[in-house]
Chains A and B, each alone.
Chain A
Amino acid sequence: MMKTLTTAMKASISEVLETMFFLPIEFGDQKTHTQTKMDKEKANMACQLKFSGDFNGRFLLVTPKDLLIEVAENFLGESRDTLEDEHLVGTLTEMLNMICGNALSKLDSKVPFELDIPEVISESDIPGSQPFIIIKTTQSNMAITVIIE
């Protein structure tokens, strides 16, 4: 199950980030949030999206704030001087929403998955031992994972 889901997630991440956010990416080795040292290096923003269906769970996305600003510039076509927190939060949650919806739609599910509304979470709510897919960009890395409950 996790292997299938991870494959679907990677395909969706590439599709979404390149089509809607104009962000070329590569994937790094999976690491826990603690191993990424993202929490030690830069200010980050994180959000989660719960889903239910054939199985239930939640997706988590963590990104450095300075990378998110660049992504928001690409997504919204606005200069960074005009971006406010509302733009950054909206970009972050929409990015996860698209990845999650796209990935789950690639699965052969018996019933349609239902997605909750994405919500911003504190970095302290990120489980340190959970393995994350590392998304490498030219500037820095994002991290995404799914937790099956």
Chain B
Amino acid sequence: MSYSILIVDDSFPMRSVIKKTFRSAGYASAQFLEAADGKQALERMKNDWIDLVVTDYNMPVMNGLDLVKAIQTLDLLKNIPIIVVSTEGNETKIKEFMDAGARGYITKPFTPENIRDLVTDILGEVDYDEDIDDSDEGFDF
């Protein structure tokens, strides 16, 4: 099954790295959508089908925590799983995200295995026959 994954991060290189990490973790056939902050993410979620949101915390305009809270107030969107990928590893902050409705939290630095383990818990096993990364983008963990 091909998933539609929304990556929310104000850093363009970081969005690119997260995409490549997902591909490397087995989600090669996923469709990736991008947003640079929480506000842009909400707009995309209202207009596009999304299976999973992967968001940073620290962003301008609307940060990741406010995004998670905003999604929970919207009946059409609140069941979409959200994973936070952030540099901030403080337990209080992680609990704040989980209490707000996030389904998982990964701290940077991360590996493809960290991503695969968490996403498998949320979306189920990857079909590797379908999702083998045969792209030639030179990214290799």
Contacts and interface: CB of A to CB of B under 8 A. Distances in A.
Contacts of A77: 20, 137-140
A86 B12 contact: yes
Contact of B108 (A20, A76, A91, A113): A20
A94 B108 CA distance: 10
A100 B87 contact: yes
Interface string B5-24: 00000111110110010000
Interface string A112-148: 1101110000000000000000000000000000000
Contact of A112 (B93, B110, B140): B93
Interface string A62-98: 0000000000100111110000001100110110011
A98 B87 contact: yes
B60 A117 contact: yes
Interface stretch (A26-34, A36-44, A101-109): A101-109
A89 B8 CA distance: 18
B109 interface: yes
Contacts of A116: 58
B107 A94 contact: no
Nearest to B15: A90
Nearest to A91: B13
B88 interface: yes
Q: Is the interface of A mostly helix, strand, loop or mixed?
A: helix
Nearest to A115: B58
11 contacts: A77-B138, A77-B139, A90-B14, A98-B108, A101-B89, A101-B107, A105-B90, A112-B92, A113-B90, A117-B10, A117-B58
A9 interface: no
Contact of B109 (A93, A98, A104): A98
Nearest to B12: A90
Interface string B101-141: 00000011111000000000000000000000000011110
B74 to A, nearest CB: 26
A16 interface: yes
A90 B11 CA distance: 6
B108 A102 contact: yes
A112 B88 CA distance: 9
Question: A77, A79, A104, A117 — which one has the most chain B CB atoms within 10 A of its CB?
Answer: A77
Contacts of A115: 58, 87-88
A15 B89 CA distance: 14
